[in-house]
Structure 1
Amino acid sequence: MTGMNFILRVLATGLALWLCDLIFDSVEIFPTDDVLGYILSLAGVAVVFSLVSMVVKPIVTILSIPLLILTLGLFYLLINAFMLWLTTWLTSQDWLGDWGMTIDGGFWWYLWVALILAVLQALVGLVVPNGDRD
């Protein structure tokens, strides 16, 4: 993955996360008091989510191949929800400062947000060029 492709994917993820923040009341990207802080926090969460998806997600996917086959791919939604939970956990640590993302409401909200986030990333990904299609 080239550097420009990574930046475009982070922008697409940031746009999808922003839309999820607008759609769901349980999703909060903070700080919300100033616009610049919100944009920087959104960019930071998008970078963390992209890095988690690049590093952790392939490992979890390979380890869960039997479950993916057994559920005909539906387990992939749980993997996406876990990546989202990991991102919220990483970005809401106290030692990182006052920025990050939270999802209130438990497991089912993570599933809903992961589903909507996957759909929005796919839609935004249609516009963003993929480095594999060169």
Structure 2
Amino acid sequence: MKGFVIKTLINAAAIWVAAWIVSGITLSGTGWGDTTLTVIAVALIFGVVNWLIKPFVKLFSLPLFILTLGLITFVINALMLWLTSWASDKLDLDFHVDGFWAALLGSLIISLISWGLSLALDD
């Protein structure tokens, strides 16, 4: 349980940084507390999307992994972030990704920040 909470908070911080850096990713709220709850909810959705959907997408795109030497991973990560944006919109959360290129850049930033924070907070 502790690992799940830490991973969710790491994803929340990474999503917050991506929304701050990438102009095509908006994360808004009426106040600091509302924005914090929104980003934690988005991190939970992002975790569920990556846990449920990403393995199937990776399995069905296995030939593309071989063909592109794994570079398709960047596209899949961008699509997972874009799907998170869609799900957040359906749940009336104030998180939106405007287009594929914003999703691609945002997913790169999220991956780097998550990786760095995971290394820093590793037991």
- TM-score band (shorter)? over 0.9
Partner of 2:26: 28
* Cα separation, 2, equivalents of 1:43 and 1:71: 33
Shift of 1:38: 0.5
User: Following TM superposition, where does structure 1 have runs of at least 4 consecutive aligned residues deviating by more than 6 angstroms?
Assistant: none
How large is the RMSD of aligned CA atoms in angstroms?
A: 1.3
Normalised TM-score (structure 2) = 0.93
Task: Tell me the distance in 2 between the aligned counterparts of 1:67 and 1:127.
Answer: 33
Name 2:2's counterpart in structure 1.
Answer: 4
8 Å Cα contact 1:12-1:128 kept in structure 2:
no
2:50 is equivalent to residue 53 of structure 1: yes
State the partner residue of 2:71: 74
C-alpha deviation, 1:100, in angstroms:
3.4
Structure 1 residue 119, shift from structure 2 partner: 1.2
In 1, Cα distance between the equivalents of 2:76 and 2:54? 7
d(CA) in 2 for partners of 1:119 and 1:50?
Answer: 16
SS at match of 1:92: helix
Structure 1 unaligned blocks of 5 or more: none
Q: Which residue of 2 aligns with 1:37?
A: 34
Report % sequence identity.
33
Q: Which amino acid aligns with 1:18?
A: W
